[in-house]
Structure formats: C-alpha cells, structure tokens
C-alpha cells in the first residue's frame, strides 16, 4: 500500500485530538512531502499499530486519556528501540522535556511552538533513520561482498574492485530520496551511474536529464520550473518544467559545476524547501523527484574561489560517488576493449577483429585523459579502418606517441631530478640495464613493445637482453 510513499518507514501520529491529527497530517504532506502517515486517536491502540505497520517515527502527545504519552514512550523504547519518538506537549516544561529525553525520546516540542520547527525536527529524524539504514545495508554488503541486483549494473563493463564497492554503496542508498552527487573526470560513465541509481530506486516516474552547462538564469528557471501562459513575451501556452516531468522519478542535473550563481540560489531553495514556483505563478508546487547532480570539476576548488555555494555543495553531497578514471582501473581494459570491438564491428557491419596481445600492454601505459569515452572512439576508428583479421595498432600508436611528445616538450629541465645528490651516480651500463628491465616489465615481456617504449629497434633490444642474460 505504501511502497511508493515517503518515507519508507511511516510516521505515526498519536493524539486524542482529532483536529490536531488532521491539521498535522495536512502540514506534513504539504510542507514536507511526507505521505506515509498513520493516525491514532486512542493511545491504547498505538502499540498494536507499531506491531502491524512499518513505522519509523512516532509523533506522541504527552497528555492523553487511558495511556499517557510518558507510559507509551516507555513501552516504545523497550519494545521498539529502532523507532524515533518525538514528544508533542501543550506545556513548556524543561524538567518534563529532560525526563522524556532520558527515557529515549528523540526530541521534544511544544504544541504552541512554530509549526515549521516541528516539521524540520521530523525531517531530521527521517534523515537520521535513512542514514542508519544505509550504513547498515552497506556494512552487510561489504562484509558479504554481494550485490542484490547485479543486473542493474550490466551496462557498466568492469571487473574492478573499486567499481564493485561503488555498486554496493549505490544499493545501500537505493531507498533514500536524498540528493546524490556524482563526481569524476569526463568520460568515466557518470550518466550510467545516474541511470543505475534511478533503476535501483524502483520509482514509478522517469529519469529526466538536464545539462545545465551554459544555461543562463532565465533559461535555467524556465527549463526546470516551467511557466504559466503569459509569464513572459512569447509564452503563449503553459509549459511544465523538468521537475514536474520527473515527478515520482529522478531529476539528473549534469555539469552542475557550471551553474551560474543566481541559478545556484534557486536550486538551493528547491532542495531546502522542497517546493518551487513556475514562472508567472504565485502558487508553489512540491518537488516530488530525487535529485542527482554530476560534475567533472573540482567543486572543493570552486568553493575556495567562491564560484560555488558552500551550502548548496553540502545539500547536494548527502550521498557522494567518486567514479575512478580509466587509468586507475586498468584491469578493465581487456573487458572494455573486447566489448567495444564487438560493438563497433556490429555497428559497422564488419567481422570482429582480433586484438593483438601487445595492444593491451600498449594501452596500459596511456594516460587516458578522455577515459572510457576516448577508448570507445579509438576502437571505433580502428575498426572502421581495419581490413585484416588482426586489428591494426596504428590508430592507438599515433595517439599515444602524440601524448608522449607533448609531455616531453612541456616538461621543464629543472623538474627532471632523477638521482638523489647524496648518493653516487650509477654507471651508464647500470642505467641501460635498469631501463631495459623496466621497459620489459611495462610491456609485460613483449620485446616489440618494450623496444618502442625506449626508442630501440627490436633486434637491438634482443641483442642487449641476450648480453645481460646469465
């Protein structure tokens, strides 16, 4: 019944005043988006409701007939220690409040106090419970080293341990509605991670993606919030924004690091308040979608230069995923290469070529500034040119040779310190042998590749290897 409600574990309101139960239920739904609510007017029924319904928070009045709030608090604390109890009282008494906290209450509020403070307190309790559930789920997955839904990650080609740890983390936060920040260099697959998060959430709504790079404040507002008819010149019809289109699903904001300062303020308010105003409207709408943001930029550096708001950064970073670059997951190169070879051959209507063994060693020494996207482009280019059964390495050699020349010309001679001054210099013969040994290690024993790495011909390298052999 409540599978699509928020929060996942419901909120039980216990009070003998029907008017308070009604007004508080409306306030929780309209102001906080809480729809998983239960109401109990007879305190004697509260414990049976806790036993039969998935409840995580109890909003409990102190002064009630039959069972008092203090008696119920004692029973809930003893039988359901995982449930957070928030006390609501008509009396502002410090001693009573302290007694309730000592008895296990999560918080204490006075009924005459501003309603907004109470709702904010309930939000904190919900967030804390979500974090506890996520941490427990993550611990269980890490200890068992299992994935509950491995099929969700089928499109992410990997055998890397760091990537598997990310998958386990994503499963642990799948039920949370809090924002997720995905960071990583261009081309590492942040969009695939966003898709996986959306799929894991099992939400009934769609995944709506918006690239916010280059959007000025007006376009950003219209794109996200939409507008009413007549809101501005040319607005002949009403238009729903991306937030409304993502209702019940996920709103993915790509390149969030490029967002303008004015748009950052609007996004912050959207996340904080959970509501927004379409352009030309004075009636707010609720945010009913999970927000995922992604960036290839160093947001902490942008914080230091005041180019990105500190408060927005921490609102977006409730959950954080750092996707490693390809050069840190080189064990995935064979899998990715084979996958892209087959994909490119199919798309180009060619037979799948065989990759030479030395190609894997060659690619493992490349920096991969464009990451997986660059690898895919190189493979497609190589397959489009190949004619023989074995794939030519020319396309890859050109790129890697070009980068090595760039690195050579950009390096300063003053930075090239190879030997500690306090130690004697090695002989030329020793240096030559060390260089050859390192080249053979990097080339995984392939003489042809090792020779190219150090600028020798293969016969010359073979001669030196034979000379140094015992």
DSSP collapsed to 3 states, the chain = CCCCCCCCCEEEEECCCHHHHHHHHHHHHHHHCCCCEEEECCHHHHHHHHHHCCEEEEEEECCCCCCCHHHHHHHHHHHCCCCEEEEEECCCCHHHHHHHHHCCCCEEEECCCCHHHHHHHHHHHHHHHHHHHHHHHHHHHHHHCCCCCHHHHCCCCCCCHHHHHHHHHHHHCCCCCCCEEEECCCCCCHHHHHHHHHHHHCCCCCEEEEECCCCCHHHHHHHHHEECCCCCCCCCCCEECHHHHCCCCEEEEECHHHCCHHHHHHHHHHHHHCEECCECCCCCEECCCEEEEEECCCHHHHHHCCCCCHHHHHHHCCEEEECCCHHHCHHHHHHHHHHHHHHHHHHCCCCCCECCHHHHHHHCCCCCCCHHHHHHHHHHHHHHHCCCCECCCHHHHHHHHHHHHHHHHHCCHHHCCCCCCCCCCCCHHHHHHHHHHHHHHHCCCCHHHHHHHHCCCHHHHHHHHHHHCC
Q: Average pLDDT for residues 210-219, to the nearest whole number? A: 90
Mean pLDDT calculated for residue range 79-100: 88
As a whole-number percent, the residues of the chain with pLDDT over 70 amount to 93
Given a contact cutoff of 8 angstroms between Cβ atoms, the answer to whether 109 and 119 are in contact is: no
Tokens describing residue 326: 């390809």
Determine, yes or no, domain membership for 204. Answer: yes
Q: Which position has the higher pLDDT, 33 or 12?
A: 12
Does residue 3 surpass a pLDDT of 50? no
Tell me whether residue 95 is in a domain. Answer: yes
| Rounded Cα–Cα distance for residues 232 and 279 (Å) | 8
pLDDT digits (tens, 9 = 90+) for 134-164: 777 777 766 667 888 999 999 999 999 999 9
Q: What CATH number does residue 264 fall under?
A: 3.40.50.300
pLDDT recorded at residue 414:
47
Residues 316 and 358 in one domain: no
The pLDDT tens digits for 35-48 are: 899 999 999 999 99
Confidence at residue 112, expressed as pLDDT on a 0 to 100 scale:
67
Give the Cα separation of 296 and 322 in Å (integer). Answer: 10
Do 180 and 57 belong to one domain? no
Same domain membership, residue 340 and residue 311: no
**Same domain, yes or no, for 358 and 297?**
no
Q: What is the mean pLDDT of the chain?
A: 87
- Give φ, ψ of 78 to 5 degrees: -80, -40
Residue 138 lies in a domain: no
With a pLDDT cut of 90, the percent of the chain lying above it is: 55
Mean pLDDT of 7-13: 91
Same domain, 214 and 287: yes
- Given a cut of 60, whether residue 411 has pLDDT beyond it is no
* Domain end point (choices 65, 95, 128): 128
Residues 6+ apart with CB under 8 A from 212: 220, 253, 254, 255, 256, 258, 259, 263
pTM for this model (two decimals): 0.71
CB atoms near residue 78 (< 10 Å): 10
pLDDT digits (tens, 9 = 90+) for 312-360: 999 999 999 999 999 999 999 999 999 999 999 999 999 999 998 888 8
Instruction: Return the number of other C-beta atoms located less than 10 Å from residue 432's C-beta.
Output: 14
Check if the beta carbon of residue 270 is closer than 8 Å to that of residue 316: no
Pair 360, 337: CB distance under 8 Å: yes
**Which domain covers residue 433, as residue numbers?**
424-470
Q: Do residue 313 and residue 390 come from a single domain? A: no
Report how far residue 142's alpha carbon sits from residue 172's, in angstroms, rounded to the nearest whole number.
10
For the stretch 171-199, pLDDT in tens is 988 888 889 999 999 999 999 999 999 99
Residues 423-465 pLDDT 10s: 777 888 878 888 888 878 877 777 777 777 777 877 888 888 8
pLDDT the model gives residue 139: 73
* 340 plus 318 within the same structural domain: no
Angle of helix 428-442 relative to helix 458-468, nearest 10 degrees? 110
Is 137 a member of any domain? no
Number of domains in the chain: 4
Per-residue confidence (pLDDT) for residue 463, from 0 to 100: 81
pLDDT at 448: 74
Q: What is the pLDDT of residue 167?
A: 95
More confident of the two residues 302 and 460:
302
Within this chain, do residues 260 and 370 fall inside the same structural domain, yes or no?
Answer: no
Mean pLDDT of 269-291: 91
Which of these three, 416, 437, 454, is where a domain ends? 416
Band of pLDDT at residue 220, cut at 50, 70 and 90? very high
Cβ count near 233 (within 10 Å): 6
Residue 135 lies in a domain: no
The CATH code of the domain that includes 433 is 1.10.10.60
Q: Is residue 224 part of a domain?
A: yes
| 312 in the same domain as 185 | yes
70 pLDDT above the threshold of 80: yes
Judge whether residue 378 has pLDDT over 90: yes
Condensed to tens digits (0 to 9), the pLDDT of residues 111-126 reads: 866 788 888 889 889 8
Q: How far is CA 224 from CA 153, 204, 240, 287, in A?
A: 29, 20, 8, 11
| CATH number of domain containing 82 | 3.40.50.2300
| Co-location of 153 and 297 in the same domain | yes
Mean pLDDT value of segment 291-318: 94
């Amino acid at each position: 019944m409540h599978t699509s409600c928020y929060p996942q574990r419901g909120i039980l309101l216990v009070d003998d005043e029907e008017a308070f139960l009604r007004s508080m239920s409306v306030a929780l739904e309209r102001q906080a988006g809480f729809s998983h609510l239960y109401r109990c007017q007879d305190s004697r029924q509260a414990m049976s409701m806790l036993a039969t319904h998935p409840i995580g928070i109890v909003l409990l009045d102190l002064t009630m007939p039959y069972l008092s709030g203090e008696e119920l608090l004692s029973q809930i604390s003893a039988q359901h220690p995982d449930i957070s109890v928030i006390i609501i009282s008509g009396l502002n008494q410090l001693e009573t409040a302290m007694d309730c906290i000592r008895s296990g209450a999560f918080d204490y509020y006075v009924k005459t106090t501003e309603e907004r403070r109470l709702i904010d307190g309930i939000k904190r309790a919900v967030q804390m419970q979500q974090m506890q559930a996520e941490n427990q789920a993550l611990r269980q997955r890490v200890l068992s080293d299992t994935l509950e839904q491995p099929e969700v990650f089928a499109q992410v080609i990997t055998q890397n341990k760091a990537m598997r740890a990310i998958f386990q983390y994503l499963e642990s936060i799948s039920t949370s509605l809090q924002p997720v920040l995905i960071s990583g260099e261009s081309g590492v697959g942040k969009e695939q991670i966003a898709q996986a998060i959306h799929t894991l959430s099992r939400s009934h709504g769609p995944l709506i993606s918006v690239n916010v790079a280059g959007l000025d404040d007006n376009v950003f507002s219209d794109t996200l919030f939409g507008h009413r008819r007549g809101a501005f010149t040319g607005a002949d019809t009403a238009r729903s924004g991306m937030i409304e289109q993502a209702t019940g699903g996920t709103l993915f904001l790509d390149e969030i690091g490029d967002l303008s300062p004015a748009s950052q303020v609007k996004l912050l308010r959207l996340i904080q308040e959970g509501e927004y105003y379409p352009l030309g409207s004075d009636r707010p709408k609720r945010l009913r979608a999970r927000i995922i943001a992604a960036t290839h930029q160093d947001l902490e550096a942008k914080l230091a230069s005041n180019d990105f708001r500190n408060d927005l950064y921490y609102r977006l970073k409730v959950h954080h995923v750092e996707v490693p670059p390809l050069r840190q997951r080189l064990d995935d190169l064979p899998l990715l290469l084979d996958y892209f070879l087959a994909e490119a051959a199919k798309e180009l209507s060619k037979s799948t070529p065989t990759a030479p063994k030395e190609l894997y060693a060659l690619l493992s020494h490349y920096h991969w500034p464009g990451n997986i996207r660059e690898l895919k482009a190189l493979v497609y280019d190589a397959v489009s040119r190949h004619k023989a059964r074995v794939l030519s390495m020319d396309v890859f050699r050109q790129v890697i040779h070009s980068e090595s020349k760039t690195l050579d010309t950009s390096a300063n001679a003053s930075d090239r310190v190879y030997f500690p001054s306090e130690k004697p210099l090695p002989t030329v013969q020793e240096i030559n042998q060390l260089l050859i040994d390192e080249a053979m290690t990097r080339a995984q024993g392939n003489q042809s590749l090792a020779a190219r790495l150090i600028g020798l011909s293969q016969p010359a390298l073979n001669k030196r290897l034979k000379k140094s052999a015992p």
